[in-house]
Structure 1
Amino acid sequence: MVDLRPTGFRRLALAGLAIAGNAVAAPDWRLETEMLQPRVTVQTEAIYRLRFYQGIAIRDLDIEPPSLPLAEVRPSGTQRVFETQREGRRYRVHERHYAIFPYASGDLKIVGARVNGELPSASLGEKKRHLRLQGDTLALAVQPLPAGHFLAAHALTLSEQWETPDPATYHPARWLRRQIRIEAQGIDATQIPELKMDIPGYAIHPDSARLENRSESGMAVAARIQTYNLVPQSDTQPGIPALSLRWWRIGDQTSQLATLPARPFDTAPMAGAPETAQLLPVKLALAGLLGGLVALAGIRRSAIRLEWRLQRAMAGGNPVVVRDAILALAARCQPAAPPNSLGALAGILDDPEARCAAQELERIIYGPPASLPSRHVIAGMARHIKRGLRRTRSIR
């Protein structure tokens, strides 16, 4: 520890602090600062500790943190006040810990913390005297990250949660929500990178990430929680590949790989497609046995019901209800391979305007939370998709 007293600083001598013989009285205050980790890796936590020893009453005591360019500095851990003895004198000690997260590598200079306050007057009528102490500039050696690494930490865990239904009992008629949590020790949450997912057979719509910072046993613990909406784009059940994050472990200076396992699914046709999509071919075959007129009458009534369902959905303006009505109508128009999602529907539409409308409607439903468009805008998208579906059917 270093006893920091600025050059030229005048001690305050109080009655009762007499000097006997050659003995030197203990000071009325003292400031000690140190770096608990004088050497760290870029982006990881270094701890700056300050202890201010107060032997007299000081009013309006204020402790300012150290400063460092190209770094974030913030309070860390428990800030405590306790009493101790030094050189036969009792002191009230103010201890502060500050976490420093450097953004750049090299030998960095930390401008010392400051202590300000008002000293007691030695006599009546004396002007106010102010205490201003500043710690020495300290050095911090910051090492760069090894090549191929973007994250260094003391420890890191990678975990996931799936919204019901669980992937083991995956019901493909519904989209999936996958929440991934990255938790690391010794860094700030802003240093944790976003995981990029590209899964064949799915449209992926990420929600806004949630960042968390806390302190455990004097060490920073950071977490990044990201939720992804996975929308199937085909009539099969594509599997989810493994997901990995490479990071550098500070303790033993080794490269590590955190991995979420792959989740294979059955490749059978999707269950849970709209009911009309599964039953219409059978109904048409039975209708053919009963005669052409009966079949035509049944198809006509089914078409009217689907059209009326879509019109009511458009009037209500609920994008999810509109989607279900559109997919039911698409299943009637494409009975051999009914699309089970708006993304799959967009893939078979020949009209670019209709294709864009289907993709935009899917983004509204599954994308990041945003203000919902008016029912007139939703109805306009539905009309474009309906027109494109009819054109596609007539071409084929």
Structure 2
Amino acid sequence: MNRDRIPCSRLLTITLLLLLQSAAVCADGLRAAVSRNEITLGETFQLSIFSDTEQAGDPDFSMLERDFQIVNRSQAKNMQIINGKVNRMQRWNLMMQPKRIGQLTIPSISVGGESTDPITLTVNEAAPAKEAVAGDDIFLKVEVDREQAYPGQQVILSVRLYRGVSTENASLSPPQSNDPDILIHKLGEDQQYQSQISQRRYTVVERRYALFPSHSGRLELSPLKFEGEIMQSRRRNNRLLTLPFDSFQQPGKITRLQSRALTLEILPRPQRAAGQPWLPSSNLQLTETWSKPPTEWKVGEPITRTLMLFADGLTSAQLPEFEQMLPAELKQYPDQPQLQDRADRDGITGVRESKIAIIPNRPGRYTLPAISIPWWNIDKGRMERAEIAPRTIDVQPAAATTTPGRDPAVDARAVASAPASRIPAAVPGEAVASWLVWLLAAGWLLTSLAWGYSAWRRQQPSRRSGTAPRQAASPTLSEIGAACSRNDPLATQRALLAWAQRRWPDSPPRSLAHLARLLDDEAVASAIADLEQTLYAADTPIWEGGALWQRLQKRSQRESQPAAPQIDTLAPLHPG
């Protein structure tokens, strides 16, 4: 019996609803309806326009824009067959938001010769955002990692949004304070996870900021404000009970809430830190690396020194420059410092990297002074120093450069040009050996003069024929440009030494360091030092050849004058 009664009850309900639908469908004319007649400023509502016939055009909604903002619009058509009769319906949906408070009227809207009746709405003033607390559908939590800090010290602000309902069009305001010069950095991407509070499960979105206050005193962080639309869900147990156009989603309720305000105490700088760079950090490190061990320095050979400063809780813009007072015999050519901010959820680490090319110009023993960076340890509450200790280095004379097959002549030339003070005096018992040395030196000197005269005679025909050294060297100059454009350090080294072999055929340089001394150009020497560092580095770093090629071009442009035709002109890096 019960099984028969339930279907009859459902059939009666469905029949009644169909009759109501038929009455609605059979009603003639153009009708308008709103989802709510009383709303709050800032909330949205839905305006629906119904037509019992299929219209050729669309209504003119421009008159609505005076008092309302049209957020979204849609259109749908429906066809029903009842008792063999076909009924066509058309509907326009507008999601709107009022522009002001008070009694607002939706004017009559016309389409196809028909008009709707005006509709009056009451728009109330929006209530101030309430402070959300745990247990609400949506609430905010804010906290800082410390309530006292110094100017320039990092403070981590954590913002957590708890949502127990679905939302759309949500927004969260950024942090604001009474410090006009405060620096605010967002840390990474938002984190989303689940949390259960009082038997209720929430979706949590966590956002973190790094704050750097600039002034001592009372720092007030304003409440963060959230605004979003809570979606109104509908339960539909039976599709047969769905009324026409019921699939249109109803507008949600606008929710506004705010977090609690926060107050921090920003302390003045300690007296112990007066007169020194102010670097409040939990950890600060200074490191040093060399392209070549200090025990292998030689005159004219460039060495690259790399200094790096790491500071937790500071930005790279806060880090000072390195002060290096080197002896005058050690020329230094600093590059532009590289600044980097490494951010994660725990804060910012500032990094400053400085590279300096050092070229000794005299042999001897030198002392590189210490480098000291004072900083304030925020965990221990005291001044500390990051230091690189002084370093003593021995610079060796430049290695002698010889040409294969000419060792005797070169040795004789070196002996002949040496000052008397550097030639050891004869001692009793060594007279015969001394005479032999002088005799051999004289022979070597004569051999050198003869070889030089022969080489001069061989070069005369080419000079008389007007062939300049530049023409012989030009193919290898283009090879230098091609190697630099490919960022190939090995090919660039070979091309440079090949070009130098033709440029200085009598005494070609056998190393890049020797070539740098012959060129006598500080900018080129610094670029060659970077090339050497790349060639001998253990980790094979990426080398950019454009800087070296540009400096070689600038050098050739300065020296390529009509009065000095022997200077080579370098080809463009990208010919054509």
The TM-score, its normalising length taken from structure 2, stands at 0.50
Q: Equivalent of 2:411, from 258, 282, 288?
A: 282
Deviation track 1:59-110 (CA, whole Å, cap 9, x = no partner) reads 2444443134423323337734221214x54333322222112344443333
Secondary structure in 2 aligned to 1:373? helix
CA distance in 1, matches of 2:377, 2:325: 27
CA distance in 1, matches of 2:218, 2:258: 21
Q: Equivalent of 2:281, from 142, 153, 159?
A: 153
Cα root mean square deviation, aligned: 4.6
CA distance in 2, matches of 1:259, 1:324: 44
Give the partner amino acid of 2:451: G
Q: Is the 8 A contact 2:183 2:211 kept in 1?
A: yes
Secondary structure in 2 aligned to 1:168? helix
Give the partner amino acid of 1:38: E
User: Quick check: which has more Rg, 1 or 2?
Assistant: 2
Deviation track 1:20-51 (CA, whole Å, cap 9, x = no partner) reads xxxxx942222122222122122221011212
Q: Are 2:255 and 1:131 aligned? A: yes
Summarize the alignment of residues 359-378 of structure 1 with structure 2, pairs less than 5 Å apart: 359-362=522-525, 365=528, 370=547, 372-373=549-550, 377-378=554-555
Q: Is the 8 A contact 2:372 2:386 kept in 1?
A: yes
**Equivalent residue, structure 2, for 1:249:** 377
Give the partner amino acid of 1:202: K
Equivalent pairs, count: 350
CA distance in 1, matches of 2:455, 2:387: 49
**What 5-or-longer segments of structure 1 have no aligned partner?**
1-5, 12-24, 333-338, 347-357, 388-396
Deviation track 1:310-349 (CA, whole Å, cap 9, x = no partner) reads 88667744598489959x97x98xxxxxx96868986xxx
Q: Deviation of residue 142 (structure 1)? A: 2.8
Q: Are 2:364 and 1:204 aligned? A: no
Give the partner amino acid of 1:223: V
Amino-acid identity (%): 21
Q: Are 2:321 and 1:194 aligned? A: yes
Change (3 A) 1:34 1:10: closer
Q: Is the 8 A contact 1:233 1:343 kept in 2?
A: no
Give the partner amino acid of 1:249: N
Q: Is the 8 A contact 2:371 2:389 kept in 1?
A: yes
Q: Equivalent of 2:197, from 66, 85, 103?
A: 85
Q: Are 2:362 and 1:234 aligned? A: yes
CA distance in 2, matches of 1:60, 1:66: 20
CA distance in 2, matches of 1:96, 1:374: 48
Give the partner amino acid of 2:302: W
Q: Deviation of residue 205 (structure 1)? A: 2.3
Change (3 A) 1:26 1:184: closer
Q: Is the 8 A contact 1:238 1:264 kept in 2?
A: yes
**Equivalent residue, structure 2, for 1:351:** none
Secondary structure in 1 aligned to 2:442? helix
Q: Are 2:334 and 1:225 aligned? A: no
Deviation track 1:171-209 (CA, whole Å, cap 9, x = no partner) reads 545311122221222222332222132312222222441
**Equivalent residue, structure 2, for 1:390:** none
**Equivalent residue, structure 1, for 2:219:** 108
**Equivalent residue, structure 2, for 1:174:** 301
Deviation track 1:150-169 (CA, whole Å, cap 9, x = no partner) reads 31211111111212x32233
The TM-score, its normalising length taken from structure 1, stands at 0.69
Change (3 A) 1:383 1:294: farther
Q: Equivalent of 1:296, from 439, 449, 456?
A: 449
**What 5-or-longer segments of structure 2 have no aligned partner?**
1-125, 235-245, 417-438, 482-492, 508-512, 531-543, 565-576
Deviation track 1:101-121 (CA, whole Å, cap 9, x = no partner) reads 234444333333333322113
- Structure 1, 292-301 or 257-266: larger mean CA deviation: 292-301
**Equivalent residue, structure 1, for 2:21:** none
Q: Deviation of residue 377 (structure 1)? A: 4.2
CA distance in 2, matches of 1:33, 1:75: 15
Change (3 A) 1:274 1:136: farther
- Structure 1, 278-287 or 137-146: larger mean CA deviation: 278-287
**Equivalent residue, structure 2, for 1:67:** 176
CA distance in 1, matches of 2:559, 2:297: 28
Give the partner amino acid of 2:296: T
Secondary structure in 2 aligned to 1:238? strand
Q: Are 2:150 and 1:41 aligned? A: yes
Give the partner amino acid of 2:279: L
Which structure's relative contact order is higher, taking Cα pairs within 8 Å and 6+ residues apart?
1
Give the partner amino acid of 2:335: P
- Structure 1, 199-208 or 232-241: larger mean CA deviation: 232-241
Q: Deviation of residue 126 (structure 1)? A: 4.7
Change (3 A) 1:234 1:310: farther
Q: Is the 8 A contact 2:174 2:224 kept in 1?
A: yes
Deviation track 1:212-262 (CA, whole Å, cap 9, x = no partner) reads 41337x243332232222222334453432221111111122111111122
Give the partner amino acid of 2:146: Q
**Equivalent residue, structure 2, for 1:16:** none
Give the partner amino acid of 1:120: M
Deviation track 1:123-160 (CA, whole Å, cap 9, x = no partner) reads 77754433333334433333344321231211111111
